[in-house]
Amino acid sequence: SAVISQKPSRDICQRGTSLTIQCQVDSQVTMMFWYRQQPGQSLTLIATANQGSEATYESGFVIDKFPISRPNLTFSTLTVSNMSPEDSSIYLCSTHRAGEAFFGQGTRLTVV
Amino acid sequence: GENVEQHPSTLSVQEGDSAVIKCTYSDSASNYFPWYKQELGKGPQLIIDIRSNVGEKKDQRIAVTLNKTAKHFSLHITETQPEDSAVYFCAASNRYSTLTFGKGTMLLVSP
């Protein structure tokens, strides 16, 4: 199995500020994924991040709002920019290994 | 794109009873169907998965069935225990990289 360390586990942020979430994988992986899980809802894919190229964003998500970095094969960050209360969610990073998806423990973000 | 419907949204059972959660999908090209358990404050954990070349898979108290003709798959938990209480998500994928999730089922097992 793949181990993904995600931090912070939770944060309370002021509107208008930005938060960067980090994910570290215990081995090199080609793709990393970022999901949003709004309260009581399912997981929605924000973007796919490959090392050495720009992230691919899903419909409804844009780079200016959710910039992603993928500096190497074990690490990625997601920034939630210019936050508003509507951004309050759990954010999860994920990767795949041997056809199975593994998730970080999530970052519970509350914007006040 | 793929659309996954999951039912029920909540399910309450008594300890020892069985629980069944059902999902349907829209993309006939999907060939991988995992189930995840998410406990409070944690990320989803894979509990069982099935690929389109089999119709049923079992792992101790958990089983998954797949009907490709009808495009639906189900999770069966037998002899439920309070620690089975969690949110369960089904998902479908037609590629190695992208999963489409159902909306989740909150399972509550009462002692």
| Dist CA B90 CA B2 (whole Å) | 13
Residues in B closer than 8 angstroms to A45, CB to CB, are 98-99
Nearest to B82 by CA among B39, B26, B22: B39
Which of A43, A96, A103 faces B96 most closely, judged by CB atoms? A96
Strand A107-111 with A10-13, pairing? parallel
Window B:78-97, CB contacts with A under 8 Å: 89, 91, 96-97
Q: Above 80 in pLDDT, residue B71?
A: yes
Q: For B38-70, how does the pLDDT look when each residue is reduced to its tens digit (9 = 90+)?
A: 998 888 999 999 988 789 999 999 999 999 999
B40–A contact, CB cutoff 8 A: no
Q: Report CA torsion sign: B32, B57, B49, B2.
A: positive
Q: In the predicted model, is pLDDT for residue B96 greater than 60? A: no
Report the pLDDT value the prediction gives residue B99, as an integer from 0 to 100. 87
Query: Which of A106, A95, A77, A103 shows the shortest CA–CA distance to A27?
Result: A95
H/E stretch holding B53: none
Position B88 pLDDT exceeds 80: yes
CB A51, CB A72: distance < 8 Å: yes
CB contact under 8 A, A102 and B97: no
- Which pLDDT band holds residue A2 (cuts at 50, 70, 90)? low
* Per-residue model confidence (pLDDT) at position B97: 55
CB A91 within 8 A of CB A35: yes
> How far is Cα B42 from Cα B63, in angstroms, rounded to an integer?
23
What is the rounded CA–CA span in Å between residue A104 and residue A92?
6
pLDDT of residue A71 exceeding 70, the answer is yes
Higher per-residue pLDDT: B100 or B94: B100
Whether B94 shows a pLDDT value over 80: the answer reads no
